[in-house]
């Protein structure tokens, strides 16, 4: 599909209102905390005050004596009754249970759960539970944690290293030997996360007559029903997850298996519905949703003309005390390990290490944004070393638009792109010459001002190829998604999707696609979320995949409906299908407008008039479509090459920042982002996610950090010290679109759910360092908080 | 249930007199959500930062997580449900949020609209920096605020056209 065809769409790519907005603006969303089940009880938690300790005793009698308190659950009971949650890599002795079993491994870890009539009573009771701890040795520094002799977070595992491998793709040593220049740098990505405004919550109800656990949750988790059932030792069809719960933001983190196992166990044991909604403190300390926390050591081999030949990257990631899929966040970047650049060879050594901190979980981009930050910082360093313009250096090394499909050293083929054009658009939108003039004028009057540039990829379509890459025992290559479409007797269309949504506008996506293919008004199409027992397979909205996978599935199902309508018409008009044409739901004979059957007539035949149905066609009018991620399905090679994701969106950021020389407070004066995610199905939704991703990136770059004290206490555990950017910190942002369709997808679309976040931290960090350049200093760690910037300025000024 | 002492309160909520017996420590947001089942008002942080629980108290935006229900006794509370038109369809501001796609997950949205409503009531033609300041106490993690700012600008225009037409 060419970009020109984009204009031929009827609904795709057009400004249209979404299906979800009306319920949200009137307060009629249905979030998990809005679900009130008859006789429902509430949970509050007792959590560990220590980074590491043995639990000697837990006394619950005072709590249980309170009126309205029903139960206190401890790890001893729960861990005997449920199976552990295992990490995504091969580490069977790194077990995780919802409640600590004998030892606690981080401050905030759940130790006991109280069930009471109200949350307030449960909190009262939790305060009366006495736990005797014997503190033990702990480790907080990931570099110390990988050393022999370090305290072990999970002694049975024998080491704090969860995963470590050195990949070599191409002649790295030779390329380094031949290169005219080399440089090395270290950068650090700070521990932050997506921190949705809604915390995680789950409600569960056990039906003893049906032997069925019903679950309502704020969830974004592949294979969530399956994992919940397994841990609870129930058959998969004994857990029914209701996906029609609005999720109040997730961006990766709402995995919630431990929450659900806890609440599911309590509901089944106690015989009444149980709900747990994290309060903000429980969420920040024990919600197990911290993001990547990485030290990158990079070496770059390059020539005097700016050609970058080779990279060596070591990434040490601190996943905290437990791991779900978090080690795999070092795996996804394998699929874009050279960014948008032609780099001949790469060595990559990911190391996933455990420390006594809150566990890491998936965060928007699944490890790609930290990697992009490291890569872009390296590119800037090369430019600086060579005295070369940063933009010219990028353009020199960009993969050209005539080189696609382009195979990178780690085995992934990029689908399409025009990186030069998008960067040029971003520069034009920012008015780059004016930006330079503004920066230099600010500097002349003694202000600190800097320009940041970043250019990076958003791998999209999520095939989860990092699972077999990082764990050879896991041979998962299927990563499908699905859609069911029904046309009822009234002629109304309903699309059924098979997962919950957290703001991505999936109902709008499905309705737009169904409307496009069937040429029916999307406003008349209803989209519902199945529950897990009547759902078709889905791997949930992760890895920027739903425009591609759910959009593709909806199109596939709609085409089957269309084919059925054509077959019915052919049978009744006594023509071949080739002689017919479909127009807005009716089917007529080409060149003879009088010979036609309307949508209503065709639907009626399908539902009521079997005698008019062509032989072999299923009565009714419904179709399902289940499909595998395009380009997916292969296991990695022995040397770790793999096709990681099918589609590659591109973004270029241009930022002007000014820093208050007295306080270190940065101000984003100008922000432009060029973005190419192929064909946009809903431009407002894509733009919204991109603005939001940039805002999130501003947080990661400048403000947000889960900081720990030396004794392992989380110091930023409220919104007073974990600083989420407000409308005052996020500037007006200019987004400029570009469209390079993907050859792998139904309409040429690519993913966009992580857009903005993947390049914003790199660009902002680059801008801060450009601002500090006249002082002869740089900052190599995120977040570059005002305090960090101020401290650095003071160090320069005092010469200390 | 517990043996907490209960207090009689009477609050006008969305134009309707609501009377209840509540414990002293019941927050206003829990009263609205759990007792009255007005679940459009959301809880985000419970320490007064995120603004998801914003409601109007006698027309002024307040954090309903930082107030006790008993403190609202005799006062007038307007929630997101009370900002729709009489027939339940979105009001001008709510409609503008739909037009510019100013929501994603929808969780901060009610508080954001309450803050914006209070702004437009006191300042019908706000400049962009005034809009940003007015919603500066409402955190949104999805939108980056841009389409929210656009919605508030659009609503201001529509309200001014509507006012001129009256």
Mean pLDDT of the region A398-405: 98
Question: pLDDT digit string (tens) for A369-389?
Answer: 999 999 999 999 999 999 999
State the complex-level ipTM.
Answer: 0.97
Topology alike, domains A200-277 and A480-538+546-627: yes
Number of helical H runs and strand E runs in chain A: 20, 29
pLDDT given for residue A632 in this prediction: 84
CB contacts under 8 A, A 634-673 vs B, are: none
Asked if residues B162 and B93 have their Cβ atoms less than 8 Å apart, the reply is no
Kindly report the CA angle at A755 between A2 and A371, in degrees rounded to 5? 115
Q: How many CA atoms lie within 13 A of A433 on its CB side?
A: 0
Mean predicted lDDT score pLDDT of chain B:
96
Residue of chain B with shortest Cα separation from A245: B105
Q: CB neighbours of B119 closer than 8 A, spacing ≥ 6?
A: B126, B130, B131, B134, B135, B152
Residue of chain A with shortest Cα separation from B130: A728
**Structure-token pair, residue A449:** 């001002």
**Structure-token pair, residue A750:** 């690519």
**Structure-token pair, residue A41:** 């009880």
pLDDT band at B128 (very low <50, low <70, confident <90, very high): very high
Does residue A2 have a pLDDT over 80? no
Nearest to B36 by CA among B61, B64, B62: B64
Which residues in chain A have Cβ-Cβ distances shorter than 8 Å to B37?
A: 36
Asked if residues A190 and A781 have their Cβ atoms less than 8 Å apart, the reply is yes
Q: CB neighbours of A328 closer than 8 A, spacing ≥ 6?
A: A88, A89, A366, A367, A466, A467, A470
Question: pLDDT digit string (tens) for A527-536?
Answer: 999 999 999 9
Question: pLDDT digit string (tens) for B79-97?
Answer: 999 999 988 889 999 999 9
Sign, CA dihedral A599-A600-A606-A609, equals negative
Question: pLDDT digit string (tens) for A157-166?
Answer: 999 999 999 9
Nearest to A318 by CA among A162, A103, A104, A138: A162
CATH architecture assignment, domain A200-277: 2-Layer Sandwich (3.30)
Q: What does the domain layout of chain B look like in residue ranges?
A: 6-82, 92-165
**Structure-token pair, residue A653:** 């950021």
How would you class B58 by CB atoms within 10 Å of its CB: exposed for 0-12, middle for 13-18, buried for 19 or more?
Answer: exposed
Does residue A1 have a pLDDT over 90? no
Peptide bond into A75 cis (omega under 30): no
Nearest to A114 by CA among A69, A180, A181: A69
Query: To 10 degrees, the CA torsion angle through A675, A678, A679, A682?
Result: -40
Residue pairs spanning A and B at CB distance below 8 A: 205
Does residue A6 have a pLDDT over 90? no
Residues pairing with A85 in the sheet: A96
Residue of chain A with shortest Cα separation from B89: A26
Look up residue B25 and give its DSSP letter: T
Q: CB neighbours of A558 closer than 8 A, spacing ≥ 6?
A: A485, A513, A514, A516, A517, A518, A623
Q: Using CA atoms, how far apart are residues A488 and A486, in angstroms rounded to an integer?
A: 6
Q: CB neighbours of A380 closer than 8 A, spacing ≥ 6?
A: A390, A453, A766, A769
Q: Using CA atoms, how far apart are residues A738 and A46, in angstroms rounded to an integer?
A: 51
Q: Using CA atoms, how far apart are residues A759 and A185, in angstroms rounded to an integer?
A: 19
Q: Using CA atoms, how far apart are residues A650 and B14, in angstroms rounded to an integer?
A: 47
Asked if residues A680 and A739 have their Cβ atoms less than 8 Å apart, the reply is yes
pLDDT given for residue A3 in this prediction: 46
Q: Using CA atoms, how far apart are residues A228 and A241, in angstroms rounded to an integer?
A: 10
Nearest to A676 by CA among A456, A483, A493, A444: A456
**What is the least distance, in Å, from the CA of B113 to any CA of chain A?**
8
Q: Using CA atoms, how far apart are residues A516 and A556, in angstroms rounded to an integer?
A: 12
pLDDT band at A74 (very low <50, low <70, confident <90, very high): very high
Look up residue A465 and give its DSSP letter: T
CB atoms inside a 10 Å sphere around CB A440: 11
Question: pLDDT digit string (tens) for A488-528?
Answer: 999 999 999 999 999 999 999 999 999 999 999 999 999 99
Q: CB neighbours of A788 closer than 8 A, spacing ≥ 6?
A: A664, A779, A781
Q: Using CA atoms, how far apart are residues A215 and A204, in angstroms rounded to an integer?
A: 5
- Domain B6-82: assigned CATH number: 3.10.20.30
Q: For residue A343, which phi and psi values (nearest 5 degrees)?
A: -125, 130
Domain A480-538+546-627 has CATH 3.30.230.10: no
pLDDT given for residue A267 in this prediction: 98
Query: Percent of chain A scored above 70 by pLDDT?
Result: 99
Mean predicted lDDT score pLDDT of chain A:
97
Which residues in chain B have Cβ-Cβ distances shorter than 8 Å to A732?
A: 128, 146, 149
Mean pLDDT of the region A180-201: 98
Does residue A133 have a pLDDT over 50? yes
**Cβ-count burial A153-164 (b if 16+ within 10 Å, e if not):** bbeebebbbbbb
Residues, chain B: 166
CB-based contact A18 B98, cutoff 8 Å: yes
- Domain B92-165: assigned CATH number: 1.10.150.120
Q: Tell whether A194 is within 8 A of chain B (Cβ).
A: yes
The 8 Å CB, 24+ separation contacts for A788-797 are: A788/A664, A789/A659, A789/A664, A789/A666, A790/A663, A790/A664, A791/A664, A793/A448, A793/A661, A793/A664
Strand pairing category for B76-78 and B6-13: parallel
Q: Tell whether B126 is within 8 A of chain A (Cβ).
A: no
Q: How far is CA A534 from CA A231, B25, B147, in A?
A: 21, 43, 36
Q: For residue A74, which phi and psi values (nearest 5 degrees)?
A: -120, 170
Mean pLDDT of the region A645-666: 96
pLDDT given for residue B161 in this prediction: 87
Q: How far is CA A580 from CA A265, A449, A573, A601, A615, in A?
A: 58, 65, 9, 16, 19
CB-based contact A249 B107, cutoff 8 Å: yes
pLDDT given for residue B165 in this prediction: 62
Look up residue B31 and give its DSSP letter: I
pLDDT given for residue A443 in this prediction: 95
Q: What does the domain layout of chain A look like in residue ranges?
A: 200-277, 294-466+635-798, 480-538+546-627
Does residue B1 have a pLDDT over 80? no
**Helix ranges, A362-430 (H):** 368-386, 390-397, 419-430
CB atoms inside a 10 Å sphere around CB B15: 9
Residue of chain B with shortest Cα separation from A756: B144
Q: CB neighbours of A63 closer than 8 A, spacing ≥ 6?
A: A69, A72, A114, A125, A126, A128, A129
Pick from A33, A117, A733: CB nearest B1: A117
CB atoms inside a 10 Å sphere around CB A209: 5
Does residue A4 have a pLDDT over 50? no
Does residue A633 have a pLDDT over 90? no
Peptide bond into B130 cis (omega under 30): no
Does residue A246 have a pLDDT over 80? yes
A294-466+635-798, which class in CATH? alpha beta
Question: pLDDT digit string (tens) for A558-594?
Answer: 999 999 999 999 999 999 999 999 999 999 999 998 9
Q: How many CA atoms lie within 13 A of B42 on its CB side?
A: 37
**Cβ-count burial A399-433 (b if 16+ within 10 Å, e if not):** beeeebebebbbbbbbbbbbbbbbbbbbbebbbbe
pLDDT given for residue B163 in this prediction: 76
Q: Tell whether A755 is within 8 A of chain B (Cβ).
A: no
pLDDT given for residue A7 in this prediction: 66
Helix (H) or strand (E) holding A653: strand A647-659
CB-based contact B2 A251, cutoff 8 Å: no
Residue B77 in 3-state DSSP?
strand
pLDDT given for residue A533 in this prediction: 98
CB-based contact A695 B145, cutoff 8 Å: yes
User: pTM (2 decimals)?
Assistant: 0.98
Q: Using CA atoms, how far apart are residues A419 and A426, in angstroms rounded to an integer?
A: 11
Q: Using CA atoms, how far apart are residues A504 and A510, in angstroms rounded to an integer?
A: 11
How large is the angle between the packed helices A390-397 and A368-386, nearest 10 degrees?
110
pLDDT given for residue A534 in this prediction: 96
Residues pairing with A493 in the sheet: A487
Q: Tell whether A37 is within 8 A of chain B (Cβ).
A: no
Q: How far is CA A790 from CA A644, A768, A779, in A?
A: 41, 12, 11
CB-based contact A718 B49, cutoff 8 Å: yes
Q: Tell whether B27 is within 8 A of chain A (Cβ).
A: no
Nearest to A367 by CA among A407, A325, A404: A325
Residue of chain B with shortest Cα separation from A503: B105
Q: Tell me the helix, strand and coil percentages in chain B, rounded to 5.
A: 40, 15, 45
Q: Using CA atoms, how far apart are residues A629 and A474, in angstroms rounded to an integer?
A: 18
Question: pLDDT digit string (tens) for A734-773?
Answer: 999 999 999 999 999 999 999 999 999 999 999 999 999 9
Mean pLDDT of the region A297-312: 98
């Amino acid at each position: 599909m060419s970009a020109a065809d984009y204009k031929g769409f009827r609904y795709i790519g057009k400004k249209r209102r979404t299906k979800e907005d009306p319920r949200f603006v009137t307060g009629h969303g249905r979030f998990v905390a809005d679900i009130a089940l008859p006789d429902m009880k509430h949970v509050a938690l007792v959590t560990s005050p220590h980074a590491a300790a043995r639990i000697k005793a837990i006394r619950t009698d005072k709590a249980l004596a309170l009126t309205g308190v029903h139960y206190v659950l401890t790890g001893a009971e729960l861990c005997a009754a449920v199976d552990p949650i295992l990490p995504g890599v091969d580490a069977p002795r790194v077990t995780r249970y919802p409640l600590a079993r004998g030892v606690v491994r981080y401050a905030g870890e759940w130790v006991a759960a109280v069930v009471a009539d109200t949350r307030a009573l449960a909190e009262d009771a939790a305060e009366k539970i006495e736990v005797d701890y014997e503190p033990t040795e702990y480790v907080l520094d990931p570099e110390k944690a990988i050393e022999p002799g370090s305290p072990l977070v999970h002694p049975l595992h024998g080491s704090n290293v969860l995963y470590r491998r050195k990949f070599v793709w191409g002649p790295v040593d030779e390329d380094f030997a031949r290169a005219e220049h080399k440089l090395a740098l270290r950068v650090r990505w700070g521990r932050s996360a997506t921190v949705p405004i809604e915390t995680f919550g789950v409600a569960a109800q056990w039906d003893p007559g049906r032997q069925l656990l019903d679950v309502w949750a704020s969830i974004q988790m592949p294979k969530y029903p399956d994992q919940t059932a397994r841990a609870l030792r129930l058959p998969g069809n004994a857990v029914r997850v209701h996906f029609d719960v609005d999720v109040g933001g997730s961006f990766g983190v709402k995995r919630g298996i431990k929450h659900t196992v806890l609440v599911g166990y309590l509901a089944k044991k106690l015989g009444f519905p149980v709900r747990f909604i994290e309060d903000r403190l429980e969420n920040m300390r024990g919600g197990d949703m911290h993001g990547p926390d990485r030290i990158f050591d990079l070496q770059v081999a390059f020539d005097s003309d700016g050609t970058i030949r080779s990279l060596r990257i070591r990434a040490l990631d601190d996943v905290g005390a437990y791991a779900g899929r978090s080690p795999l966040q070092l795996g996804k970047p394998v699929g874009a390990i050279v960014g948008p650049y032609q780099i001949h060879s790469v060595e990559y050594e990911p190391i996933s290490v455990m420390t006594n901190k809150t566990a890491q979980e998936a965060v928007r981009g699944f490890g790609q944004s930290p990697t992009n930050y490291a890569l872009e910082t390296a590119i800037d360093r090369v430019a600086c070393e060579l005295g070369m313009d940063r933009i010219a250096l990028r353009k020199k090394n960009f993969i050209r638009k005539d080189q696609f499909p382009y195979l990178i050293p780690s085995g992934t083929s990029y689908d399409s792109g025009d990186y030069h054009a998008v960067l040029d658009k971003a520069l034009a939108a920012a008015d780059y010459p004016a930006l330079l003039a503004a920066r230099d004028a600010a500097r002349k009057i003694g202000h600190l001002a800097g320009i940041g540039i970043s250019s990076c990829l958003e791998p999209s379509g999520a095939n989860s190829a990092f699972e077999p890459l990082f764990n050879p025992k896991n041979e998962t290559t299927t990563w499908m998604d699905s859609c069911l479409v029904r046309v009822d007797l009234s002629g109304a269309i309903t699309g059924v999707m098979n997962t919950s949504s957290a703001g991505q506008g999936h109902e709008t996506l499905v309705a737009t696609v169904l409307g496009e293919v069937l040429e029916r008004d999307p406003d008349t199409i209803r989209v519902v979320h199945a529950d897990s027992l009547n759902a078709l397979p889905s791997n949930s909205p992760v890895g920027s995949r739903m425009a591609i996978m759910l959009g593709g599935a909806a199109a596939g199902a709609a085409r089957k409906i269309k084919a059925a309508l054509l077959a019915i018409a052919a049978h009744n008009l006594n023509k071949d299908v080739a002689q017919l044409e479909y127009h807005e739901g009716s089917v007529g004979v080409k060149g003879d407008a009088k010979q036609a059957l309307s949508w209503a007539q065709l639907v009626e035949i399908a539902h009521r008039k079997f005698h008019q149905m062509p032989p072999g066609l299923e009565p009714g009018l419904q179709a399902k479509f289940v499909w595998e991620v395009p380009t997916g399905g292969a296991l990695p090679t022995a040397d770790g090459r793999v096709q990681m994701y099918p589609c590659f969106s591109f973004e270029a950021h241009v930022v002007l920042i000014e820093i208050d020389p007295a306080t270190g407070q940065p101000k984003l004066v100008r922000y432009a982002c060029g973005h190419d995610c192929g064909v946009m199905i809903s431009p407002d939704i894509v733009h919204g996610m991109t603005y939001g991703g940039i805002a999130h990136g501003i947080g990661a770059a400048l403000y947000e950090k889960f900081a720990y004290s030396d004794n392992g206490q989380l110091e930023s555990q409220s919104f007073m010290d974990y600083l989420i950017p407000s409308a005052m910190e996020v500037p007006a942002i200019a987004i400029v679109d570009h469209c390079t369709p993907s050859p792998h997808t139904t309409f040429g679309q690519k993913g966009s759910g992580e857009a903005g976040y993947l390049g914003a931290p790199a660009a902002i960090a680059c801008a801060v360092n450009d601002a500090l350049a006249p002082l002869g200093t740089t900052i190599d760690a995120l977040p570059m908080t005002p305090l960090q910037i101020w401290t650095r300025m003071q160090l320069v000024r005092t010469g200390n | 249930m517990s043996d907490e002492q209960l207090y009689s309160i009477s609050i006008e909520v969305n134009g309707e007199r609501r009377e209840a017996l509540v414990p002293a420590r019941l927050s206003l947001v829990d009263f609205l959500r759990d007792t009255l089942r007005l679940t459009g008002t959301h809880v985000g942080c419970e320490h007064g930062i995120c603004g998801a629980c914003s409601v109007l108290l006698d027309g002024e935006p307040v954090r309903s997580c930082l107030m006790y229900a008993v403190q609202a006794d005799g006062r007038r509370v307007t929630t997101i449900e009370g900002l729709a038109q009489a027939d339940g369809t979105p009001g001008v501001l709510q409609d503008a949020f739909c037009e510019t796609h100013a929501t994603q997950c929808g969780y901060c949205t009610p508080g954001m609209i309450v803050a914006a409503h209070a702004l437009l009531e006191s300042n019908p033609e706000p400049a962009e920096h005034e809009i940003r300041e007015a919603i500066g106490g409402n955190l949104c993690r999805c939108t980056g605020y841009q389409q929210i700012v656009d919605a508030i600008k659009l609503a201001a225009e529509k309200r001014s056209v509507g006012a001129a037409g009256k």
